[in-house]
C-alpha cells in the first residue's frame, strides 16, 4: 500500500472510532433525557438518523477496517497499473549530464535490458522533467544515415542490449540515427556527443577494383594506402602527386563513408547497438540539482525515472 493510501486508511480508522464514540455518547444522552427532550425552538439544528448504523463493537470496527484496507489495496494496485508502463523492466534511464552548458552536450542515456522483448518502438515516447515540465518527444530516425543527402525517417525500434543517447540539441546530420560499422567517418568533419566509435574497416583491407590492380596498384600505391587511418577520408592535398592516376582516383572516390556502407551493409556486424536521438532544443532542459527526469510511453505511463 502506498504512503498516500496508508494515510487515508488511518484517517478512515480515526473517523470510525470517533463516530462510534459519538454514537455511544448520543445513545446515553438520549436514554437519560427521553422524558424531558430539550427545547430546540428557534434552533437551526436538524437531527437525522444515519442511513446505516455505525459499528460500535471493537470486533465490528476491526472487521470494517480490514475490509476498507483490502479495498484500498485494490485501488492502489489498479492505480499503479495505470501509472507504470509495461516497459518498465526493459528500459532504464542510466545517467544524465545536467551540467552541460549547451543543449548539444546535454545527454540522457537509456539502456535496453538484455531480457527485453525483441523490438520496442520508442518513437512518440516523452522524456521530461517532473519539476519544470520541460522535455521533448522522441522523434523518428534512420537506421542507415547518409551524409549530404535525403534521409527517409521511420519509427525508432530498439532491441535488447541497445544503448540510447538522447541529446537535447540538434543532430550534426540533421536526423536521429543508429550507428554502424562506418559511422566513424562522420567524426572527421563533425563533433558528436558522445563521440562515435571509429571502428571502420582499414582502407588496406578493403577490396581493390581490378582496374586499379592492373594499372595503378604498384608498391607506391600500396604503401600509401597502408598509411591511411580508419574512418578517415584522404584529403586531396594529402595524396602524393607521384601516385599513378588510377590509384589517386581510387583513394579520392572509394575511401569514404558511402563506399564503406556499400561494401559492408550486408555484413552480420554492420549495424551497431547505439542510437543517437536528438530533441532539437536550443536551450538545455535539465536542472543542475534537485531534478527528476521521467520517461513516459505513448500512453503517458512511467517507464522509468532518474533523480539527482
Establish if 299 belongs to a structural domain: yes
Same domain, 67 and 110: no
Residue 32 has pLDDT above 50, yes or no: no
Helix axes 3-32, 58-83, angle to 10 degrees: 150
Using DSSP's 3-state secondary structure scheme, residue 195 falls into coil
Of 94-103, 165-174, 181-190, 203-212, minimum mean pLDDT range: 203-212
Query: What is the distance of C-alpha 245 from the center of its chain?
Result: 51
Whether 135 and 151 share a structural domain: yes
Q: Domain check: are 153 and 279 in the same one? A: yes
Domain identity same for 115 and 172 = yes
Give me 55's grid cell: 459499528
Residue 136's H or E segment, with its range, is strand 135-137
Half-sphere exposure for 216 (CA within 13 Å, toward CB):
17
Distance (Å, whole) CA 185 – CA 188: 6
Would the pLDDT of 30 be above 90? no
Q: 274 - beta bridge partners?
A: 163
Q: What is the reported pLDDT for 21?
A: 62
The residue segments making up the domain with residue 220 are 203-262
Residue 38 lies in a domain: no
SS3 for 107-123, per residue?
EEEEEECCCCCCCEECC
pLDDT, tens only, 221-252: 889 999 999 999 999 999 999 998 889 999 99
Mean pLDDT score across all residues of the chain: 85
CB count within 10 Å of CB 139 equals 18
Instruction: Assess if residue 22 is contained within a domain.
Output: no
Each residue's pLDDT tens digit, 87-143: 999 999 999 998 999 999 999 999 999 999 999 999 999 999 999 999 999 999 999
Cβ proximity of 251 and 224 under 8 Å: yes
Q: Is residue 193 part of a domain?
A: no
Confidence tier at 24 by pLDDT (50, 70, 90)? low
Q: Are 103 and 220 in the same domain? A: no
- In angstroms, the Cα distances linking 276 to 57, 94, 141, 159, 162 are 65, 15, 9, 14, 11
**How many Å apart are CA 57 and CA 167, to the nearest integer?**
63
Question: Within a domain: residue 73?
Answer: yes
Q: What confidence category does residue 75 fall into, taking pLDDT thresholds of 50, 70 and 90?
A: low
pLDDT of amino acid 214: 73
By the 8 A CB rule, do 266 and 180 touch?
A: no
On whether residue 186 sits in a domain, the answer given is no
Number of domains forming the structure of the chain: 3
Would 197 be classed as within a structural domain?
no
Of the listed ranges 210-224, 236-250, 293-307, the least confidently predicted one is: 210-224
Indicate whether 179 pLDDT > 70. yes
CA distance 268 to 287: 41
- Residue 45 is assigned to a structural domain of this protein: no
Is the pLDDT confidence value at 31 over 90? no
- Tell me the backbone φ, ψ of residue 164, rounded to 5 degrees: -125, 125
112 and 66 share a domain? no
Q: Indicate whether 117 and 258 sit together in one domain.
A: no
Kindly tell me the burial class for residue 156, based on how many C-beta atoms sit within 10 Å of its own C-beta (0-12, 13-18, 19 or more).
buried
Cα(245)–Cα(216) distance, integer angstroms:
7
| DSSP character at residue 93 | E
Side-chain half-sphere of 215: how many Cα atoms within 13 Å?
Answer: 11
Domain containing residue 134: CATH number = 2.60.40.1260
Same structural domain, 177 and 107? yes
What's CA 100's distance to the chain center, in Å?
19
Residue 250 vs residue 44, higher pLDDT = 250
| Percent above pLDDT 70 for the chain | 78
pLDDT higher than threshold 70 for residue 54: no
Mean pLDDT along residues 4-21:
60
pLDDT digits (tens, 9 = 90+) for 161-171: 999 999 999 99
Q: pLDDT band for 3, please (50, 70, 90 cuts).
A: low
Amino acid at each position: 500500500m502506498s504512503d498516500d493510501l496508508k494515510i487515508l486508511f488511518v484517517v478512515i480508522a480515526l473517523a470510525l472510532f470517533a463516530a462510534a464514540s459519538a454514537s455511544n455518547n448520543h445513545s446515553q444522552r438520549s436514554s437519560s433525557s427521553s422524558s424531558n427532550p430539550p427545547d430546540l425552538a428557534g434552533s437551526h439544528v436538524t437531527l437525522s438518523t444515519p442511513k446505516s448504523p455505525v459499528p460500535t463493537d471493537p470486533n465490528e470496527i476491526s472487521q470494517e477496517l480490514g475490509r476498507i484496507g483490502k479495498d484500498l489495496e485494490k485501488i492502489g494496485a489498479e492505480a499503479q497499473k495505470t501509472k507504470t508502463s509495461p516497459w518498465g523492466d526493459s528500459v532504464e534511464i542510466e545517467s544524465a549530464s545536467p551540467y552541460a552548458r549547451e543543449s548539444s552536450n546535454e545527454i540522457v542515456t537509456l539502456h535496453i535490458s538484455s531480457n527485453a522483448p525483441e523490438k520496442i518502438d520508442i518513437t512518440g515516447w516523452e522524456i521530461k522533467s517532473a519539476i519544470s515540465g520541460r522535455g521533448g518527444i522522441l522523434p523518428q530516425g534512420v537506421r542507415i544515415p547518409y551524409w549530404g543527402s535525403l534521409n527517409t525517417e521511420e519509427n525508432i525500434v530498439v532491441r535488447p542490449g541497445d544503448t540510447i543517447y538522447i541529446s537535447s540539441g540538434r543532430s550534426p546530420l540533421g536526423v536521429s540515427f543508429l550507428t554502424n560499422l562506418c559511422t566513424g567517418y562522420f567524426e572527421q568533419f563533425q563533433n558528436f556527443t558522445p563521440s562515435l566509435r571509429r571502428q571502420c574497416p582499414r582502407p588496406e583491407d578493403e577490396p581493390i577494383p581490378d582496374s586499379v590492380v592492373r594499372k595503378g596498384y604498384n608498391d607506391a600505391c600500396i604503401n600509401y594506402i597502408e598509411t591511411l587511418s580508419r574512418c578517415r577520408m584522404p584529403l586531396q592535398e594529402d595524396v602524393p602527386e607521384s601516385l599513378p592516376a588510377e590509384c589517386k582516383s581510387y583513394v579520392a572516390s572509394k575511401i569514404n563513408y558511402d563506399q564503406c556502407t556499400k561494401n559492408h551493409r550486408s555484413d552480420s556486424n554492420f549495424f551497431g547497438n547505439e542510437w543517437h536521438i536528438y530533441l532539437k532544443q536550443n536551450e538545455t532542459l535539465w536542472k543542475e540539482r534537485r531534478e527528476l527526469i521521467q520517461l513516459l510511453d505513448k500512453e503517458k505511463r512511467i517507464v522509468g525515472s532518474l533523480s539527482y
